[in-house]
Amino acid sequence: MLRSTPESGPLVFVVAVLLMWPISAAMAADYEVGPEQALGSISQVPWESLMPGDRVLIHWRAAPYAEKWVICRQGTEADPIVVSGVPGPFGELPIIDGREATTRTALDFWNEGRGVIKIGGANNPPDSLPAHIVIENLDIRSGRPPYGFTDTDGHAASYQNNAASIYVEKVTDLVIRNCILRDSGNGLFIGAYDGETENILIEGNWIYDNGIEGSIYEHNTYTAAIGITYQYNRFGPLRGTAGGNNLKDRSAGLVVRWNWIERGNRQLDLVDAEDSSVLVNHPSYNETHVYGNVLIEAEGTDNSQIVHYGGDSGTTADYRKGTLYFYNNTVVSTRSGNTTLMRLSTNDETADVRNNIIYTTATGSHLAMLSSSGVMDLGHNWLTSGWVTSHSSFNGVLNDDGTNLEGSDPGFAEDFALQTESVCVDAGTTLNPAVLPDHALVRQYVLHRKSTTRPADGALDLGAFESGLIFADGFESGGVGQWSAP
């Protein structure tokens, strides 16, 4: 090793420091794909040899890229591997289309029929746990039957029903940001891989038009990991008669905050980690946070339940137990029939429900808080007058502290913001100390797929939005779910 000595002087010392300096960033490469770029196709990217700090920049073009690939390499926290779309002149995202897609022949990976883009699980590059990966600014679509593709051996192959726009077999430290995921079996599928998959951020995406018609087993997202956060996403209807859920999850340490989630069999289906004892025994498995979301149940939706929390495998010992912290959400149902806020799978599941607006266009007797079991602590919410505990036989516990407001109109402005004269303004209570400081209400959703600081103007308003200051801070009106008071 070079050392600085009186004889060698300071120059040798500087050289020594430079030799020891991390060189990953200096060695990183940009692979530019698209019209008038160095690479004309995605298959020319050396996916099997990407290094920390490398960026794959896919430029928009009028024709979709009918190509698919696997990412099975490792970045670092300081130098992640980034796959980024470069938008077109009007903000159009580059389209990655699974229909008749081809695959780089230098790659060799299994489960090609499970996704348009796959992360983890390959022979070439050699199998490893992918780490520090960012995928952003891409419109990824059409991984489902009856569509087909050409595999790494050049053979024609078909997608499976549970294929996804992005299929994650295993990864640690993954960010999926500002993408459109649509027209696939699952928009996004993430597997726990017995606890190796962890630290996932799903942020600012538009996820809709997924599922298999006539099937309840495919969803807009279907995920299982240790530590996964959904924020600023827009979830829309599934395909046609597809019976799946908007957001189905089997994770430990799940956070769903500041999203717009509309339609689906259920908006949230938060059930047990049926195939991972590592997740079931993880300290964060029994604590789930859902706050600041807009959850919309539309007429014609098959299932009347907004949220399911607990499990569905039948192995009740593995159910989530613990507490679902459900606060400052705006829940709107336009069903003419019954609506049930929550199904808690057993009496070992508890929900702390506070500071929400839970509104139905049907009369209040059509609104129930619970299905048949579970423990709910209910306080400081706005509820449609005449609500009931359950629409069926009930063996759980509802702890109503008497602080809920009731009425026929919560005082919505456009897009479920509050009118300044709404009774929901300043009607909130303090948050459960267990959610602080990590899950304070510091942000709120902006239509669509954006966020802004939630104004701190004293007492909390009920629901997903603070009143008065939203429109002055970039809040856009209109779009899906635009509200007109009845």
What is the pLDDT, as a whole number, of residue 239? Answer: 96
Helices (H), 201-330: 277-280
Summarised one tens digit per residue, pLDDT across range 279-316 is: 999 999 999 999 999 999 998 877 899 999 999 999 99
Q: Show pLDDT as tens, one digit a residue, over the chain (486 residues).
A: 223 333 334 333 333 333 333 445 568 999 999 999 999 999 999 999 999 999 999 999 999 999 999 999 999 999 999 999 999 999 999 999 999 999 999 999 999 999 999 999 999 999 999 999 999 999 999 999 999 999 999 999 999 999 999 999 999 999 999 999 999 999 999 999 999 999 999 999 999 999 999 999 999 999 999 999 999 999 999 999 999 999 999 999 999 999 999 999 999 999 999 989 999 999 999 999 999 999 999 988 778 999 999 999 999 999 999 999 999 999 999 999 999 999 999 999 999 999 999 999 999 899 999 999 999 999 999 999 999 999 999 999 999 999 999 999 999 998 999 999 999 999 999 999 999 999 999 999 999 999 999 998 889 999 999 986 443 333 332 232 332 222
Residue 85: closest CA among 64, 70, 71, 106? 64
What is the pLDDT, as a whole number, of residue 39? Answer: 98
d(CA 418, CA 432): 23
For residue 282, what are its two tokens? 């993880």
Backbone angle region of 400, left / alpha / beta, with phi > 0 → left and psi within -120 to 50 → alpha: beta
d(CA 105, CA 328): 50
Burial 358-392 (b: 16+ CB within 10 A, else e): bbbebebebbbbbbbbbbbbbebbbbbeebbebbe
What is the pLDDT, as a whole number, of residue 458? Answer: 83
What is the pLDDT, as a whole number, of residue 147? Answer: 98
Summarised one tens digit per residue, pLDDT across range 237-264 is: 999 999 999 999 999 999 999 999 999 9
Residue 206: closest CA among 318, 320, 87, 93? 93
* CB of 81 closer than 8 Å to CB of 132: yes
Terminal CA-CA length for the chain: 77
Structure-token match 């079996």, residue found: 185
Residue 266: closest CA among 280, 283, 249? 249
Q: How far is CA 289 from CA 204, 229, 231, in A?
A: 18, 9, 12
pTM of the model: 0.91
